[in-house]
Amino acid sequence: MTPMGIYMMGLPLRLHLQRGFTLIEVAMAVVIIGVLLIPLLTLLGTDIINDSNVRDAGVAYELAQEELEWLLYSKVPASVLMKYYIQQSQRGDPNVQAEVRKRKTPDGTKQDVLDVNVKYEIEFAGKSWQIRRHLIMDQTYLTEIHIAVYGPLNQDKPLAQLSTLKYQ
């Protein structure tokens, strides 16, 4: 195309800019840009990233649910599990922290409880996941179980959390 042809094609736009656009022309431009922009953004991968995050959250929830079910329905008594965690903590395992602390009961008295935090990593679905358990046990029962699963991309914020209180 010749320079004169390019100049002539831009002439109507220049005339519109001088006199202003009508409401119909603006509305048509918005619709055309919107119709072209949405598929373009989809092709660029914004939906792929969101689908991956949703999929990761689903996997994290499944892992947390399996952990909680294992703790609730395991053949291993809670007292044996807690003794194991105490031994690991005393041996200096950096992934296990166990301490006895005082907790106020509903009747106002203070009670000794064993507070255990455990974290470990597993490989699942081709990714690395960190699972953290927070268990609280009184003299007889596990009273609180908190499970948090951290995803492969973000170790600061859990993708899934499940808890149960006053389990007996």
Tell me the C-alpha distance between 166 and 145, whole Å.
Answer: 9
Query: What DSSP string describes 57-112?
Result: HHHHHHHHHHHHHHHHH-SS-HHHHHHHHHHHHHTT-TTEEEEEEEEE-TTS-EEE
The residue type found at 92 is G
Tell me the C-alpha distance between 72 and 144, whole Å.
Answer: 11
Spell out the domain ranges in the chain: 3-43, 46-165
Question: Parallel, antiparallel, or unpaired: how do β-strands 160-165 and 142-150 relate?
Answer: antiparallel
Tell me the C-alpha distance between 51 and 47, whole Å.
Answer: 6
Segment 18-66, tens digit of pLDDT: 666 667 777 777 777 777 776 666 666 554 555 666 677 777 888 888 8
User: Which segment of 10-19, 36-45, 105-114, 120-129 scores lowest on mean pLDDT?
Assistant: 10-19
Whether 60 contacts 149, CB under 8 Å: yes
Tell me the C-alpha distance between 61 and 135, whole Å.
Answer: 18
Predicted TM-score of the model (pTM): 0.60
User: Which segment of 41-55, 91-105, 129-143 scores lowest on mean pLDDT?
Assistant: 41-55
